[in-house]
Amino acid sequence: MPVLLNEVEARVLGSLVEKQLTTPEYYPLTLNALAAACNQKSNRDPVMSLGESEILAAIDSLREKNLVYTFHGSTSRTVKYKHVMPGVFELEPPAIAVMTLLLLRGPQTLGELRGRSDRLYEFSGLGEVQESLDDLARRSEPLVTKLERQPGQKEARYAHLLSGNVEVETRSYIESGSAPGHAGDLSAEVKRLSDELAAFRAEFEEFRKQFD
């Protein structure tokens, strides 16, 4: 993969794409709006607290990679920022939604991607999500990879490859069957259960639509 993004660049790029799709009336984004999008506490994993200097450094790097450019409106001197990710990677709307979610929230299951995509793209069902992931993974330079299912997880997760190969985190306390030992482990366990619930809800909604 010739274009490799660090964590901040991935967050900046994902935030620009998300806001273009969900709040087009405020796009392109000013630096303040982009900072707010990058540092959201909802729909982000991990939650970040990026300063303007970090975001500007990421923008400079993304501009060098031809993924972001500055925009000067005719009625304002304020510099704004736009992305060109779909053109660079030749992405259709379903793939744009999948890549945006993976950039903003890290590795996710099929059900999680389906359940979280409504504002980005209206997938017809889990099958269309899977088709998009398969297409991204089968490219000569894959943009997505399927991770091995870890102990304590019912489903495999998918991750983007714009930041290089993905290191899979393991939770030894789940594998050994012992209880979480501290607050960090407990938080991770709560998140895992929450993610599984989101996946279950998406799958249930898919099942229910068969009888509508």
User: What pLDDT sits at residue 208?
Assistant: 62
Look at residues 33, 63, 88 and tell me which one is the last residue of a structural domain: 88
Contact 104, 14 (CB under 8 A): yes
Measured over the CA atoms of residue 45, residue 24, residue 109 and residue 112, the dihedral's sign is positive
User: What pLDDT sits at residue 196?
Assistant: 65
In a domain, 2, yes or no: no
Domain count, the chain: 2
Query: Distance between CA atoms of 170 and 19, rounded to whole angstroms?
Result: 32
User: What pLDDT sits at residue 153?
Assistant: 83
- Encoding tokens for residue 150? 């870890």
User: What pLDDT sits at residue 124?
Assistant: 95
Contact 22, 28 (CB under 8 A): no
Examine the domain organization and report whether 101 and 169 are in the same domain.
yes
Residue appearing with tokens 């249930």 = 204
Gyration radius of the chain's alpha carbons:
18
Look at residues 22, 57, 88 and tell me which one is the last residue of a structural domain: 88
Examine the domain organization and report whether 129 and 203 are in the same domain.
yes
User: What pLDDT sits at residue 175?
Assistant: 36
Q: Between the CA of residue 55 and those of 13, 48, 63, 85, what are the distances in Å?
A: 10, 11, 12, 17
Domain range for 166? 94-209
Examine the domain organization and report whether 140 and 194 are in the same domain.
yes
In a domain, 1, yes or no: no
Examine the domain organization and report whether 101 and 203 are in the same domain.
yes
User: What pLDDT sits at residue 131?
Assistant: 98
In a domain, 84, yes or no: yes
Residue 161 φ/ψ, nearest 5 degrees: -115, 15
Look at residues 88, 107, 139 and tell me which one is the last residue of a structural domain: 88
User: What pLDDT sits at residue 3?
Assistant: 74
In a domain, 175, yes or no: yes
Q: What is the DSSP string of the chain?
A: ------HHHHHHHHHHHHHHHH-GGG-SEEHHHHHHHHT-SSS-SS-----HHHHHHHHHHHHHTTSEEEEE-TT---EEEEE-HHHHHT--HHHHHHHHHHHHH-SB-HHHHHHH-TTT---SSHHHHHHHHHHHHSSSS-SEEEPPPPTT-SS--EEE-TTSSPPPP--HHHHHTPPP-SHHHHHHHHHHHHHHHHHHHHHHHHHHHTT-
In terms of pTM, does the model score above 0.85? no
Examine the domain organization and report whether 159 and 201 are in the same domain.
yes
pLDDT tens track, the chain, 212 positions: 567 999 999 999 999 999 999 999 999 999 999 999 999 999 999 999 999 999 999 999 999 999 999 988 777 788 999 999 999 999 999 999 999 999 999 999 999 999 999 999 999 999 999 999 999 999 999 999 999 888 888 899 999 999 998 876 544 333 334 344 445 556 666 766 676 677 667 666 665 655 55
User: What pLDDT sits at residue 207?
Assistant: 56
Examine the domain organization and report whether 74 and 98 are in the same domain.
no
**CATH number for the domain that contains residue 23:** 1.10.10.10
